[in-house]
Amino acid sequence: MILIPGERWPGSSAGAPSAAPAPERPTSKPGRLAVIGLGPGSAELMAPAVREELNRAQDIVGYTTYVELAGPFRPDQRLLDSDNRQELERARLAFELAAQGRHVVVVSSGDPGVFAMAAAVFEALEQSQDPVWHAVDLAILPGISAAQAAAARAGAPLGHDFCVISLSDNLKPWSIIEHRLRQAAQADLVMALYNPRSKARPDQFAQALAVLRETRASETPVVLGRDIGRPDESLTVTTLGAIRPEQVDMRTVVIVGSSLTRRLARQDGGEWVYTPRWYGEASASK
């Protein structure tokens, strides 16, 4: 298959699906593969190193929405975006291109190491016996993850120990998710919940809340950050007792406070949410 510079690869959402390009193996040295995080959405929350990598890239690989967020691109840069490709396939395509000597960027939203492409890239590499893949100049460039971006808008809810849990059961059984939620609640960790509720699984979020309510008080502060850093951004402060599943979708990150997390009135009528960094006398018995 011949790839024409500046055009979308035919496997992109704009064209018919197709197999990976036929390898044209290099006589020169392998290229570079950078897995980058765009941050939550807005350009000013993207690291300068990521912007620089995108400027230098020849091939941009990723989920269409994220590739669009990463643009605009020059006509000489190839966009290999697609929604219908598996993460592992996408990672293999990126390695194949880098092995041909190309400068490839794989795009993730937020941080590439948080429920995103970086781990898929390592999985593809570990499964490969191809020495050229292992010789590719591989780099992971961090981005601001959704939990960090939402926490900053709300105040400092992640100010003490916290954990990050994906509620998607695409890649792990629901029983493990429930187990982790229960353990995290018992350990009094603040939780940032990703992939909280989708059309395909509308009811599991209510089950997750029920697990948290077994141990955590109903007045526990909860922050709902939706489309943070994007034009439709919204931030809602509620409580574990009051939150309704309909308030939450796949564009939302949910931060559930610990027993220490507090709400603080702002002069403008809003409120901050923060978790103090210490366990004081009041919590000495915990």
Are 175 and 142 within 8 A, CB to CB?
no
Torsion of CA 230, 234, 235, 238, to 10 degrees: -150
Q: Which of 223, 241, 114 is nearest to 166 (CA)?
A: 114
> Judging by beta carbons within 10 Å of its beta carbon (0-12, 13-18, 19+), is residue 50 exposed, middle or buried?
buried
Helices H / strands E in the chain, number of each: 8, 13
Among 30, 110, 159, 257, binds ligand SAH (CB under 6 A): 110
Among 181, 253, 260, 273, binds ligand SAH (CB under 6 A): 253
Are 243 and 206 within 8 A, CB to CB?
no
Is the CB of 182 or the CB of 201 nearer to ligand SAH?
A: 201
d(CA 54, CA 64): 15
Number of residues that bind ligand SAH (CB under 6 A): 25
Q: Which residues pair with 256 in a beta bridge?
A: 191, 222
- Residue 142 binds ligand SAH, judged by CB under 6 A: no
Is the CB of 132 or the CB of 255 nearer to ligand SAH?
A: 255
Among 32, 90, 226, 263, binds ligand SAH (CB under 6 A): 226
Number of residues in the chain: 286
Which residue number places its CB atom closest to ligand SAH? 110
- Residue 119 binds ligand SAH, judged by CB under 6 A: no
Who contacts 10 (Cβ-Cβ below 8 Å, separation ≥6)?
Answer: 1, 16, 18
Question: Contacts with ligand SAH in 27-66 (CB under 6 A)?
Answer: 40-41
- Residue 250 binds ligand SAH, judged by CB under 6 A: yes
Can you say whether the dihedral through the CA atoms of 240, 245, 247, 253 is positive or negative?
positive
Encoded tokens for 201: 């699984």
* Region binding ligand SAH by CB under 6 A among candidate stretches 55-63, 79-87, 170-178, 250-258: 250-258
- Residue 252 binds ligand SAH, judged by CB under 6 A: yes
- Residue 194 binds ligand SAH, judged by CB under 6 A: yes
Is the CB of 165 or the CB of 260 nearer to ligand SAH?
A: 165
- Residue 204 binds ligand SAH, judged by CB under 6 A: no
| Long-range CB contact pairs, 241-246, < 8 A, 24+ | 241/213, 242/218, 243/209, 245/197, 245/202, 245/203, 245/205, 245/206, 245/209
Encoded tokens for 109: 């939203």
Among 63, 66, 95, 115, binds ligand SAH (CB under 6 A): 115
- Residue 82 binds ligand SAH, judged by CB under 6 A: no
Among 60, 124, 136, 146, binds ligand SAH (CB under 6 A): 146
Among 77, 82, 100, 108, binds ligand SAH (CB under 6 A): 108
- Residue 162 binds ligand SAH, judged by CB under 6 A: no
User: CA angle at residue 19 from 15 to 25, to 5 degrees?
Assistant: 120
- Residue 155 binds ligand SAH, judged by CB under 6 A: no
- Residue 123 binds ligand SAH, judged by CB under 6 A: no
- Residue 248 binds ligand SAH, judged by CB under 6 A: no
d(CA 93, CA 55): 20
Q: Which residues bind ligand SAH (CB under 6 A)?
A: 40-41, 108-111, 114-116, 145-146, 150, 194-196, 225-230, 250-253
